[in-house]
Structure 1
Amino acid sequence: MRIDQQLTAGKAEYPMIASLAAVGDGRSMALVGPDGNVEWFCPRCFDGTPLIWPLLDRDRGGRLQLSTPGDLKTHYLDDSAVLEFEVHSASGSARVTLCMEWPGSDDQQSLLWQVDGLAGRCEFTLMFEPRPDFGSVAGEASLSAEGLIYSYQRQQLLLQADCALYPDGEGWQGVLSVDAGGSAGICLSVSLEQDAPPVPVSIESVPARIAATLKAWRDWCAALDCPASYRADVVRSAITLKLLTYEPSGAVVAAGTTSLPERLGGERNWDYRYTWFRDAGLTLGALFGLGCRDEAHRWAQWMQRTIEQHGTPLAVLYDVNGAAPPPERNIEGVDGYRGSRPVRVGNAADGQFQLDVYGELLECVSICDSMGDDAMRAHWPHMRAAADFIAAHWQEPDQSIWEMRSAPRHYVHSKVMAWAGLQRALWLKRRHDLDGDEESWVNQAEALRQLVLRRGVSADGSHFIRAFDDDRLDASLLLLARVGFIEGSDERFINTVDAIRKQLDEGGVALRRYPAEISDGLQGREGAFFICSFWLVEALVQTGRPREAKEFFEQLLQRKGEHGLFAEEFDTRSGQHLGNIPQAFSHVGLINAALSLGSFD
């Protein structure tokens, strides 16, 4: 593609969501567009206030660009989160390498660019136009011997480059030239301490820092226990989960962005830069399955600390430090991605009752324990309290795994996860002779199971249904065999899988979460969900159809983004990705599906 083709009447077009790439350092993430420009960057922390955000507003979102006219090709270097761009113009060609330094220091984080001349001469324009906190905060900039110092809200940044910087409108600009065989560097450093300036780096050290980052990623990837089939896709997903892990606490955020729409032009725009308990069991299983024991252990530690801090009832989501997320609010005066408004910060789902999160928590305990890690069992009193909560509250309706903003209902998946939670608690109690109300857990689990088998099935009893008194289907029912509520070979589960494929099919290549006519309290039609589609792969394996599972999985892989990343959803008609990116749950689904197929290699 040509960079100048990104411009229409002087205004840059929004990049396709599937064209975005991510770089990060375990604290925050920068998204990079197909033109090599930064589209989203929240310094210091995933859920912090954005500094650069043209992804949500082409006019007001600021700029962090290193650009030159010409043809551009972008890709990740193998087994890494390091990006490489090759630029070919009439005057010459060059290679640009971009990453966030990793592992980072405890004091600051750095975005690094290295430019290597390949032929002729290439001239790049460096543009830095910060717009802190959606443009609501004024910053101060000054030039020093080290570079450009920019301060706002007690935060300080330092931009260093192999070129002079000068004011340009509301930002700063420089011109950087490289000849064949020559090189140049750029470093944007962010202090992690309030009111403290970043430590200047030597621009000459940028190539070595990038090389060290590349080596660190490749060493980490080499230790992964990947199935032989689909290794490249599994490794890319593992790297993505690592990028979405907040290193100081071990929490895994649901996505790196806010307000990328699930329907273009609609209101289904959410802030996913937080941590959901409902994602816990599947995420932990994926990490353990790949041999990421340190990441899995620290994720479990985050959960136990959060429970100790807040107790029960559990909230649906927390921030990366285990605190309540900020109240959901709309950001006024921001266009939104391709006109999709509102742009939101915070998430109102934290006030919902979702019964399944308690089952997910106890599922995590049993996963840890079965793999010789007592990170969560060591805090048994809190796990016991979770089981007691399930026993006392499983008869109540909830908002389901999908966080419906309509009236609570008796969702079958929620009931099944409550049952699973009691089963895990009983297993742990008996295995380690722990204290707990075993009689109550046994009785309530059996009563719950019988109720689901009576009211959670179709009128003819042939398959499971979405909710009591609602014969429609829900993709979350594909998890019933995974958690052990029913055998994969059971005819009722096989019929459920087949009915879901028929009722929730989207173009033969993906699944919806639930039928389109179901009102979830929001306007507009959403896309097909990647996680649901990956669940189908696992369910087909469980029902003894690995060949069908493999074919469907390979169809899904064809839908990945240009850099191997997955958003939350996609439109089967246009092929566009929808929702926030990269989406942890989508990549977790890919890993678990590949692991299930791996048993048939």
Structure 2
Amino acid sequence: MAEAAIAEHGLIGDLQTAALVSTDGAVDWFCCPRFDSPSVFGALLDDERGGRFRITPARGGYETKQMYIPGTAVLITRFITEAGVGEVVDFMPPAPAEATDNHRLVRMVRCVRGEVSLEIEVAPRFDYGRAAHQTQLTDHGILFTSDALRLVLHSVREPGDERLARVRLDGDDVRLSIDLTAGDVRGLVLESAATGPPREIRVAEFERLFDDTVAWWRSWVARSTYTGRWREVLQRSAITLKLMTYAPTGGLVAAPTAGLPEQIGGERNWDYRYTWIRDASFSVHSLLRLGFTGEARQFAEWLGKRVAEHAGGEGGPLHIMYRVDGSSDLKEESIEHWSGYRGSVPVRIGNGASDQLQLDIYGEALDSIFFADQRGIRLGHRGWQAVCGLLDWLAGHWDMPEEGIWETRGGRKNFTYGRLMCWVAFDRGIRLAAAHGRPAAVESWIAARDGIYNQIMENGWSAQRHAFVQHYGSEVLDSSLLRMASVGFIAPRDPLWVSTVEAMERELVTDSLVYRYDPEASPDGLRGSEGTFSLCSFMYVDALARMGRLDDARLAFEKMLTYANHVGLFSEEIALTGEQIGNFPQAFTHLALIDAAITLDDALDRPSGS
């Protein structure tokens, strides 16, 4: 049986870990106790050996629908049968602010019309299926125990109710059956690191847990100050980003998944359960624009700690990515016994790109620090010293070949985007020093900034293509350069910029969808191809809006929204067929969606011609 389609999932979480729930009622991706921990359920990457927690109608012939309770991260999967309608309500109560191994995955089942019979399968596979476990049935639930993790399954029922008593062991897995009539509410709670044995949970307690979780999310969403045209869309993106935030540190994972392919059957299968400097920097900008000051401040503090550590390897003061706790051991390996999503191997965990030299991260970091400073989130003395140390290092190293934003594995090059963001780093540092009268080697920074500008104009511009190109000495276009106008390097209506966008439209844009680059024209050290990159598609919308092409921008944005899945989530890429591919959901895409929407809103609200 093939793995459930990537887009056929909703996301739930408790701000320390997350789970994907398919439209067929299966939790087929869940890592515990945190995002970058080994998986417990991994059927998304191997339907036979990955493990799952599935609740589905006992008999065939049903239709399924999925939705979020508005303004929350509480997911409802509805099963519509001839006999009745049943619902599985999935959520994870928010975990405390401090790191904990104790997490609860709550699965409420209820019958809303007629009658419904449900089959429940609980088949954990600890440590990516590499660790054995023991299963113990008790009067009030089930224990699953491996060497590294213990899971307790609590039952939800009323006194004297035996409808969840039909339990049978299938090896070390468990199968349960339950019959419900209209109005019945029952369920299960899977808890990690529980302090006691399985227990019976009364329905009233269960419903309070549900009510409290709904209230928590709605209270959080109400803090947004965004009132523009796409309020519900941006609200869902904000909730999704919150679900991918590790609350104890403020680190934002790039995605809660690993190994989902950029090409079905291909080898571009990476682990995204880590925090990239780039993504964290973008998140500060996007969340401040939405009014989520607390989250932006926490992200900025996470970023500031990484800058202050100066603990990077030979690639510079910063690693490009970190674990959610701030550590940087991301050794890459393959899960050899898993077949991969629809045959896409290898299934990688860890990330070998963590020690690459990617110079653009310094510009993204400084841009977010500058943006936060403008909105009252100021650097202290030690923070400023760390920034100075970073920029002083960059002043001596910006003119180096690097791997670039796309983490290519085909050797270092003089990427134009990397140079562009080094320009941003120095520009923002100079502005910060001037705004607050801070001591700094400003003359050195100015010399570097101006040198970069001149170098890009001389070497990054192709007279043949009438466009800025991916790296010096090439004629390859790269959609990362869609940010040139948004960061202030070039005026949005400069003829050089207009012709660059037009060249990208001819070669990289298909309808509203945008490719990163052409890997055949610019080999990246990997076999195969990939889909369009949703981040770049939203960056294209932003660029069009800044150029004044508002009708084109709005149409492209609205088309992009049609590629979201049924609950408003985007993966990393979109295949030619329209299928979502790559890790899911991707933070970078939702961050770019937010920025594009707000830029477009502002442009549409300005008087014509202004």
State the TM-score bracket (shorter-chain normalisation).
over 0.9
Q: What is the aligned counterpart of 2:427 among 423, 427, 440?
A: 423
C-alpha change, 1:399 and 1:187, in structure 2 (3 Å) is: same
Partner of 2:34: 45
Partner of 1:274: 274
Q: Quick one: distance in 1 between partners of 2:36 and 2:380?
A: 26
Q: Which amino acid aligns with 2:201?
A: S
Partner of 1:391: 395
Q: Is 1:335–1:341's contact at 8 Å kept on the other side of the alignment?
A: yes
Q: Is 1:83–1:97's contact at 8 Å kept on the other side of the alignment?
A: yes
Partner of 1:111: 105
Q: What is the aligned counterpart of 1:93 among 85, 90, 102?
A: 85
What are the residue-to-residue correspondences of 1:206-221 with 2, within 5 Å? 206-221=206-221
C-alpha change, 1:199 and 1:354, in structure 2 (3 Å) is: farther
Q: Is 2:154–2:198's contact at 8 Å kept on the other side of the alignment?
A: no
> Cα RMSD over matched residues?
1.8
Q: Which moved more, 1:379-388 or 1:222-231?
A: 222-231
Q: What is the aligned counterpart of 2:150 among 156, 167, 170?
A: 156
1:323 aligns with 2:333: no
What are the residue-to-residue correspondences of 1:182-261 with 2, within 5 Å? 182-191=184-193, 197=196, 202-204=201-203, 205-261=205-261
Q: Quick one: distance in 2 between partners of 1:147 and 1:376?
A: 52
Partner of 2:128: 134
Q: Is 2:55–2:119's contact at 8 Å kept on the other side of the alignment?
A: yes
Partner of 2:23: 34
C-alpha change, 1:499 and 1:128, in structure 2 (3 Å) is: same
Q: Is 1:22–1:32's contact at 8 Å kept on the other side of the alignment?
A: yes
Q: What is the aligned counterpart of 1:374 among 378, 393, 401?
A: 378
The CA deviation at 1:241 is 0.4
Q: Quick one: distance in 2 between partners of 1:469 and 1:290?
A: 40
Q: Is 2:83–2:114's contact at 8 Å kept on the other side of the alignment?
A: yes
1:469-517 Cα shifts (integer Å, max 9, x gaps):
11221001110111111111211111111111111123x2211001242
Q: Matched residue of 2:509: which SS?
A: coil
Q: Which amino acid aligns with 1:207?
A: E
Q: Matched residue of 1:39: which SS?
A: strand
Q: Quick one: distance in 1 between partners of 2:331 and 2:105?
A: 30
Q: Matched residue of 1:259: which SS?
A: strand
Partner of 1:4: none
Q: Quick one: distance in 2 between partners of 1:555 and 1:378?
A: 46
1:150-209 Cα shifts (integer Å, max 9, x gaps):
2223322110124234312230121122112222121111128xxx55885734211211
Q: Is 1:369–1:377's contact at 8 Å kept on the other side of the alignment?
A: no
Q: Matched residue of 1:175: which SS?
A: strand
1:568 aligns with 2:572: yes
Q: What is the aligned counterpart of 1:167 among 169, 183, 206?
A: 169
1:578 aligns with 2:581: yes
The CA deviation at 1:547 is 1.6
1:347 aligns with 2:351: yes
Q: Quick one: distance in 1 between partners of 2:67 and 2:124?
A: 26
Flag structure 2 segments of 5+ consecutive residues without an equivalent. Answer: 158-163, 606-610
C-alpha change, 1:511 and 1:105, in structure 2 (3 Å) is: closer
Q: Is 1:190–1:198's contact at 8 Å kept on the other side of the alignment?
A: no
Q: Which amino acid aligns with 1:569?
A: E
Flag structure 1 segments of 5+ consecutive residues without an equivalent. Answer: 1-10
Q: Quick one: distance in 2 between partners of 1:498 and 1:123?
A: 57
What are the residue-to-residue correspondences of 1:498-537 with 2, within 5 Å? 498-506=502-510, 508-517=511-520, 518-537=522-541
Q: Quick one: distance in 2 between partners of 1:73 and 1:460?
A: 52
The CA deviation at 1:460 is 5.6
Q: Quick one: distance in 2 between partners of 1:198 and 1:515?
A: 56
Q: Is 1:227–1:594's contact at 8 Å kept on the other side of the alignment?
A: no
Partner of 2:302: 302
1:407-445 Cα shifts (integer Å, max 9, x gaps):
111111100100110111111111112121111111111
> What TM-score do the two structures reach when normalised by structure 1?
0.94
Q: What is the aligned counterpart of 1:176 among 162, 173, 178?
A: 178
Partner of 2:599: 596
How many residues end up aligned between the 2 structures?
Answer: 585
The CA deviation at 1:88 is 2.4
Partner of 2:416: 412
Q: Quick one: distance in 1 between partners of 2:29 and 2:269?
A: 16
> What TM-score do the two structures reach when normalised by structure 2?
0.93
Q: Quick one: distance in 1 between partners of 2:206 and 2:132?
A: 30
Q: Quick one: distance in 2 between partners of 1:318 and 1:169?
A: 38
Q: Is 1:274–1:325's contact at 8 Å kept on the other side of the alignment?
A: no
Q: Is 2:141–2:198's contact at 8 Å kept on the other side of the alignment?
A: no
Partner of 2:608: none
Q: Which moved more, 1:542-551 or 1:370-379?
A: 370-379
Q: Quick one: distance in 2 between partners of 1:307 and 1:198?
A: 44
Partner of 2:160: none
Q: Which amino acid aligns with 1:280?
A: A
C-alpha change, 1:335 and 1:203, in structure 2 (3 Å) is: farther
Q: Is 1:377–1:383's contact at 8 Å kept on the other side of the alignment?
A: no
The CA deviation at 1:529 is 0.4
Q: Matched residue of 2:7: which SS?
A: helix
What are the residue-to-residue correspondences of 1:467-482 with 2, within 5 Å? 467-482=471-486
Partner of 1:5: none
Q: Quick one: distance in 1 between partners of 2:497 and 2:199?
A: 60
Q: Which amino acid aligns with 1:208?
A: R
Partner of 1:82: 74
Q: Quick one: distance in 2 between partners of 1:499 and 1:62?
A: 47
The CA deviation at 1:398 is 0.6
Q: Quick one: distance in 2 between partners of 1:544 and 1:136?
A: 55
Q: Quick one: distance in 2 between partners of 1:304 and 1:587?
A: 23
1:293 aligns with 2:293: yes
Q: Quick one: distance in 2 between partners of 1:511 and 1:94?
A: 40
Q: Is 2:416–2:456's contact at 8 Å kept on the other side of the alignment?
A: yes
Q: Matched residue of 1:44: which SS?
A: coil
1:379-416 Cα shifts (integer Å, max 9, x gaps):
11111111112110011011111111111111111001
Q: Is 1:103–1:216's contact at 8 Å kept on the other side of the alignment?
A: no
Partner of 1:7: none
Q: Which moved more, 1:166-175 or 1:294-303?
A: 166-175
Q: Quick one: distance in 2 between partners of 1:78 and 1:120?
A: 25
Q: Quick one: distance in 2 between partners of 1:84 and 1:461?
A: 51
The CA deviation at 1:217 is 1.2
Q: Is 1:304–1:376's contact at 8 Å kept on the other side of the alignment?
A: no
1:280-331 Cα shifts (integer Å, max 9, x gaps):
3322111100011111111111112223334452111100011113210111
Give identity over the alignment, percent: 35
Q: Which moved more, 1:373-382 or 1:274-283?
A: 373-382
The CA deviation at 1:120 is 3.0
Q: Quick one: distance in 1 between partners of 2:192 and 2:378?
A: 37
Q: Quick one: distance in 2 between partners of 1:563 and 1:23?
A: 12
